[in-house]
Amino acid sequence: MSMSSVLEKPASLLERARASYPRDRVFEFMQPRPAFDQPVDTRKGPILYVEGVSVSFDGFKALNNLSLYINDGELRCIIGPNGAGKTTMMDVITGKTRPDQGQVYFGQTINLLALQEHEIARGGIGRKFQKPTVLETLSVYDNLELAMASNKGVWSCLLHTLNGEQRDRIAEVLHLIRLTAQARQQAGALSHGQKQWLEIGMLLMQNPRILLVDEPVAGMTGEETERTAELLTSLAGRHAVIVVEHDMAFVRSIARTVTVLHQGSVLAEGSMDKIQNDPKVIEVYLGE
Amino acid sequence: MLIRRLLENDRGGQIVLLVLLALLVVVPLLSLGVSDTSVWHLSTYNVTLLGKYLCYALLALSLDLIWGYCGILSLGHGAFFALGGYCMGMYLMRQIGDRGVYGNPELPDFMVFLNWDHLPWYWHGFDMFWFAMLMVVLVPGLLALVFGWLAFRSRVTGVYLSIITQALTYALLLTFFRNEAGFGGNNGLTDFKDILGFPVQADTTRIGLFIASVLALMLGYLLCRLVVTSRLGRVIVAIRDAESRTRFSGYQVEHFKLWLFVLSAMLAGIAGALFVPQVGIINPGEFSPLNSIELVVWVAVGGRATLFGAIAGAFSVNYAKTWFTSLYPEAWLFALGALFVLVTLFLPKGLVGLAGQRKWRRTPKAALSGLPQQQEYAS
């Protein structure tokens, strides 16, 4: 927020204080809240900026000066051996882990490091966990309803009722993840692959700009894997999709750009062919 | 109508409310309308006993709301019950006026005994019924708010949270035992004379308090039902089953837990306030950690995450307690312990689960998934 715009309409005491003396550089709580109601600023191309991020746990560097840019609507695959920092990177982006150093921006203006998990989720970054995590005791329909982008405050949840538009949206996503027939079934009774899809469906209900998908095809049959590849490819374009996966055949089938992580930083980036012929990558990963 | 919507698909709740309605009619009739000599006469002792169970049932309901539905096992919920009780007790003490042993119109007897010459600041206002009733919900609610805010913000969960809730009630127990605290110390508050001008001991007043307890339980049930059937209720179950999934779906988990914890504490406070005039005494023993643990057993025996189960559990365990302690007083705690172990091992869904077992047998998976479970899967 620029100085002049604040001076034009001094709405609150806090804003006036900000305008009179730039204390907000000192005290975090005085920083203007990110304006999620406005479209994310992607004029320069990337929707996610990860710059120089380092995270260490008890001396072990899980991320080491990691820099990564994801373009709006891109489908990006991230691969790397175990312990390369893939999950930690997702934790940093979604607010679960705070990095020791570095910056993470959503669009050009929103600093994700200043936000909590639920704010990041509401703001448009959805995350699928490595283990499929759905709400087992609720029906498939309720799972989607719960994840739906809407006012997620306590009181509005107490009085909430679905409107027609929201029902249509749930039906649409049910169709997309091929669970229309199971809508009233308990999510706990779904097969492993169906749970993975349901979780992806829950992310879609949040209307995210970025989907972080951790190992979407783990434990899936060949046919399910194929359908998941189809689903993720169809989502790219409308959403930026970041897929972390071990299954190289799957990565090959969907990848446009692949990033290889190794020991907490980017080892190589480019098309699948380029990656496969990169001597560094062959040495640490493919060559094993 | 709202009530109809709330009780739809809730067979247990329908039964509970019907039974309560029946009690509302039958108990006053058998107590006041039938002569003392008749076999149908219900003694005041039994009316009071039933009233006591009703208060316990409301307390069990409040614990079930946070434990059964949200997975927060509070082992100090008796503290909120006792605080509500003390607020009511303070009102009743002020109603004694100059009829106490020392005849002081302003100070309760124990303060005169301690040579205090004026009322402590926190006793002011308790001579007014409306103020005391406000405090019955506000004091437990405020404590829950502060405690919950600190605990949930630091993401204290599971057994650690249970331990600090236990510490909370123990700390309050020690505080209220002190004479300097100004709550009557060891003896607590007792020797009540009247409530809203009606003598506490009179049969008609007892019936009035009984009716108030039935109504409070019915309204409490409907309120809890409103919460658990709303979207809020589904979010709460989601927090229980998969907290991080819920957080990454954009819910501020801490707010939901805190809101529910405060609501639950307020319900417990109301239960305590109704309990005190019926038993005629409130003392620090109500803060005893043992009471809170017994409360957990009621809910576990009745069946977690079914509101009517908590009510059934409170009634059945307390009835057993009344019966048992009159026969083998020393053995009760062993029986209680054994009950808890057996229920945990063989009836994870409680008595309610036992009743519904025939229906569940066809879909065993659904029966199991009603319980809180960790999302641990080897994929």
Query: Does residue B376 fall inside a structural domain?
Result: no
pLDDT in the model for residue A280 = 87
> Under an 8 A CB cutoff, do A134 and B232 touch?
no
Q: List, in sequence order, every residue forming a beta bridge with B194; answer none if it has no partner.
A: B199
Is residue A176 packed enough to be buried (19+ CB in 10 Å), middle (13-18) or exposed (0-12)?
middle
Which residues in B lie closer than 8 A to residue A136 (C-beta atoms)?
A: 241-242, 369, 373, 375
Neighbouring residues of B161: CB distance < 8 A, sequence distance ≥ 6? B72, B73, B74, B151
Query: Does residue B379 fall inside a structural domain?
Result: no
Vertex B242 angle, CA B157 and B376, to 5°: 95
| Residue B238 touches chain A, beta carbons under 8 Å | yes
**Strand A265-270 to strand B189-190: parallel, antiparallel, or no bridges (unpaired)?**
unpaired
A4-13, pLDDT tens digit by residue? Answer: 444 455 567 7
> Of B14, B257, B233, B222, nearest to B152 (Cα)?
B257
Q: What is the mean pLDDT of chain B?
A: 90
A122-145, pLDDT tens digit by residue? Answer: 989 999 988 888 999 999 999 999
Structural tokens at position A124: 């448009």
Residue A1 binned pLDDT confidence (cut-offs 50, 70, 90)? very low
Structural domain of B106 = 2-368
Distance CA A65, CA A50 (A): 10
**Which segments of B227-372 are extended strands (E)?**
281-282
Nearest CB partner across the interface for B365, out of A126, A189, A218: A189
Structural domain count of chain B:
1
Q: List, in sequence order, every residue forming a beta bridge with A130; answer none if it has no partner.
A: none
Query: Does residue B257 fall inside a structural domain?
Result: yes
Residue in the block written with tokens 């020690």 = B174
Query: Does residue B68 fall inside a structural domain?
Result: yes
Structural tokens at position A113: 């490091």
Residue A14 binned pLDDT confidence (cut-offs 50, 70, 90)? confident
Q: How far is CA B285 from CA B50, B66, B93, B237, in A?
A: 21, 24, 18, 33
A226-266, pLDDT tens digit by residue? Answer: 999 999 999 998 899 999 988 888 888 888 899 999 989 99
Residue A150, pLDDT above cutoff 90: no
Residue A16, pLDDT above cutoff 80: no
Structural tokens at position A231: 């689903």
All structural domains of chain A, each given as residue ranges with its CATH number in brackets, are 74-89+124-286 (3.40.50.300)
Structural tokens at position B240: 């229980």
| Residue B377 touches chain A, beta carbons under 8 Å | yes
Residue in the block written with tokens 């100090």 = B76
> Under an 8 A CB cutoff, do A147 and B255 touch?
no
The answer to whether B70 and B240 are in contact (CB under 8 A) is yes
Distance CA B234, CA B319 (A): 33
**Helix, strand, coil % in chain B, rounded to nearest 5:** 75, 0, 25
Q: List, in sequence order, every residue forming a beta bridge with A111; answer none if it has no partner.
A: A105
Query: Does residue B378 fall inside a structural domain?
Result: no
Handedness of CA B207, B208, B211, B212 (dihedral sign): negative
Neighbouring residues of A155: CB distance < 8 A, sequence distance ≥ 6? none
pLDDT in the model for residue B378 = 34
Q: How far is CA A3 from CA A21, B1, B169, B195, in A?
A: 10, 54, 52, 63
Structural tokens at position A214: 């951790």
Distance CA A142, CA B21 (A): 33
The answer to whether B367 and B353 are in contact (CB under 8 A) is yes
Structural tokens at position B1: 């109508």
DSSP string, B46-108: HHHHHHHHHHHHHHHHHHHHHHTTT----S-THHHHHHHHHHHHHHHHHHHGGGSSS--SSS-
Neighbouring residues of B198: CB distance < 8 A, sequence distance ≥ 6? B204, B205, B208
Q: For chain A, report the end-to-end CA distance as a whole number of angstroms.
A: 51
> Which chain B residue has its CA at the smallest distance from A130's CA?
B379
| Residue A80 touches chain B, beta carbons under 8 Å | no
Query: Does residue B373 fall inside a structural domain?
Result: no
Residue A21, pLDDT above cutoff 70: no
More confident residue, A39 or A1: A39
The answer to whether A135 and A178 are in contact (CB under 8 A) is no
Query: Does residue B74 fall inside a structural domain?
Result: yes
CA dihedral A120→A122→A127→A133, nearest 10 degrees, is 120
Nearest CB partner across the interface for B238, out of A135, A160, A199: A135
Distance CA A217, CA A193 (A): 8
Which residues in A lie closer than 8 A to residue B246 (C-beta atoms)?
A: 135, 146
- Phi and psi torsions of B256, nearest 5°: -65, -45
The answer to whether A257 and A242 are in contact (CB under 8 A) is no
Residue in the block written with tokens 């919900």 = B137
Residue in the block written with tokens 């006469």 = B41
Residue A36 binned pLDDT confidence (cut-offs 50, 70, 90)? low
Distance CA B81, CA B265 (A): 8
Structural tokens at position B371: 């319980």
The answer to whether A63 and A228 are in contact (CB under 8 A) is no
Which residues in A lie closer than 8 A to residue B245 (C-beta atoms)?
A: 129, 133-135, 199, 202
Handedness of CA B185, B190, B195, B197 (dihedral sign): negative
pLDDT in the model for residue A10 = 52
Identity of the residue numbered A224:
E
- A-B CB pairs within 8 A amount to 101
Query: Does residue B377 fall inside a structural domain?
Result: no
Structural tokens at position B39: 């076999």
**Strand A46-57 to strand B281-282: parallel, antiparallel, or no bridges (unpaired)?**
unpaired
Residue A15, pLDDT above cutoff 90: no
| Residue B254 touches chain A, beta carbons under 8 Å | no
pLDDT in the model for residue A59 = 84
Q: What's A186's DSSP letter?
A: B
- Phi and psi torsions of A278, nearest 5°: -75, 120
pLDDT in the model for residue B373 = 41
Determine the angle formed by the axes of helices B78-96 and B44-67, rounding to 10 degrees. Answer: 140
SS3 A78: strand
Which residues in A lie closer than 8 A to residue B231 (C-beta atoms)?
A: 145-146, 157-158, 160
The answer to whether B222 and B63 are in contact (CB under 8 A) is no
- Phi and psi torsions of A259, nearest 5°: -115, 130
SS3 A177: coil
Q: What's B41's DSSP letter?
A: P
> Of B375, B293, B367, nearest to B337 (Cα)?
B293
The answer to whether A125 and A99 are in contact (CB under 8 A) is no
ipTM of the modeled complex:
0.83
CA distance A98 to chain B (A): 15
The answer to whether B106 and B234 are in contact (CB under 8 A) is no
Low-confidence residues in chain B, pLDDT < 50: 360-379
